[in-house]
Amino acid sequence: MLVLGIETSCDETGVALYDTEQGLLADALYSQVELHAEFGGVVPELASRDHLRKLVPLVHQVMQQAQRPLSDLNAIAYTAGPGLIGALMTGSCMARALALALGIPALAVHHMEGHLLAPLLDKAPPAFPFVALLVSGGHTQLIQVEAIGRYQLLGESVDDAAGEAFDKTAKLLQLGYPGGPRLAALAQQGTPHRFAFPRPMTNRPGLDLSFSGLKTHTLTCIRELEAANTLDEQAKADVAWAFQDAVVDTLTIKCKRALKHTGYTRLVVAGGVSANLALRQRLDQLLQGMGGEVFYPALAYCTDNGAMIALAGALRLAAGEQDASPPPALRPRWP
């Protein structure tokens, strides 16, 4: 079965074509990063307008790349939430109009299910069951994954998501937008252990997380350095190192706990922050020590993309899911 996937929840227009026999056939991504950079963050109305401009050309592009006509499609999957409402509307209108014209199902996909399943795009995908750590700009969640569609939330951030904390901390260090990858790059120049940052919510039981305190801790640290007139480039890198180490350490502690709690030996890490190399190193070490295995999406599929939505739709279609009638509402917030 051939499924077109459309992702427009935030600032990337992603379109891809997934075949249940042959895997990913074509994939196109347009990032709006430059459009939003001068505003220091995503401007929702600009995002929607730009998705509108890019959607039709990108659909043509993937069909041409795979050399398949639209009439070969068996379904169209689109992100129905969570995300920016206007941006979600552009992708869902495109998907549902095209599906209606072709007489095929339009499947509403949860953006985080897309992230969660992204490692299954790999040639050596993880087997079920596994624990998933989803770390994106909007979510930080630990999920017990028994099978496709059988997910149990084990814990999540009670405030900022890990990616959001990276972005906000990068802003405090005046690193510009998008902040996460820039902060990670700066941390590589940092002196280890010059500053000691807390590991929030690790000294009590449970799998919930919290990251807003780390951002405040960074602010206090920066103010002290400024007051002492010692906030130079090296000091900024040292702060970045300490912040990243605290996030990575906290996530590692919670992953270990989630694996022990479930008795599972496989960990899947996905979402934008799963591109972080320091996090990958620590989780590799953890799973090696526990005799388990850790799986990440290829770097291109860590952040938002259409391939993960096409895959999630294809797996749902193969599991018997049909077009919902009336179509489900878009959900900017979707637990």
**Binding residue numbers for Fe cation:** 111, 115, 304
- Interface stretch with Zn ion, choices 44-52, 127-135, 296-304, 306-314 (CB under 5 A): 296-304
CB closer to ligand KG4 out of 75 and 309 = 309
In the shown chain, the binding pattern of residues 82 to 121 toward Zn ion, with x for contact by CB under 5 A and - for none, equals ----------------------------------------
Which residue type sits at 168?
A: K
* Candidate list 8, 13, 48, 136; residue touching Zn ion; CB under 5 A: 136
Out of Zn ion, ligand KG4, none, what residue 55 binds, judged by CB under 5 to 8 A for its kind, is: none
State the nearest-atom distance from the C-beta of 323 to ligand KG4, in Å: 26
Give Cα separations from 331 to 17, 79, 189, 295, 324 (angstroms).
24, 10, 41, 29, 15
Q: Is the N-terminal amide bond of 129 cis, ω within 30° of 0?
A: yes
Q: In whole angstroms, what is the distance from residue 307 CA to residue 14 CA?
A: 7
CB closer to ligand KG4 out of 136 and 262 = 136
Encoded tokens for 186: 């700066």
State the nearest-atom distance from the C-beta of 42 to ligand KG4, in Å: 10
**Does residue 304 bind Zn ion (CB under 5 A)?**
yes
Which residue type sits at 12?
A: E
CB closer to Zn ion out of 44 and 213 = 44
State the nearest-atom distance from the C-beta of 240 to ligand KG4, in Å: 11
By CB neighbour count within 10 A (0-12 exposed, 13-18 middle, 19+ buried), where does 260 fall?
exposed
Kind of pairing, strands 12-19 and 130-135?
Answer: unpaired
CB closer to ligand KG4 out of 161 and 287 = 161
Out of ligand KG4, Zn ion, none, what residue 105 binds, judged by CB under 5 to 8 A for its kind, is: none
State the nearest-atom distance from the C-beta of 187 to ligand KG4, in Å: 9
Binding residues for ligand KG4, rule: CB under 6 A, are: 10, 136-138, 163-164, 166-167, 178-181, 184, 271-273, 275-276, 303-304
CB closer to ligand KG4 out of 181 and 332 = 181
Out of ligand KG4, Zn ion, none, what residue 275 binds, judged by CB under 5 to 8 A for its kind, is: ligand KG4
Out of ligand KG4, Zn ion, none, what residue 130 binds, judged by CB under 5 to 8 A for its kind, is: none
State the nearest-atom distance from the C-beta of 268 to ligand KG4, in Å: 14
State the nearest-atom distance from the C-beta of 51 to Zn ion, in Å: 15
State the nearest-atom distance from the C-beta of 100 to Zn ion, in Å: 27
**Total residues in contact with Zn ion, by rule CB under 5 A:** 2
What residues make contact with Zn ion under the rule CB under 5 A?
Answer: 136, 304
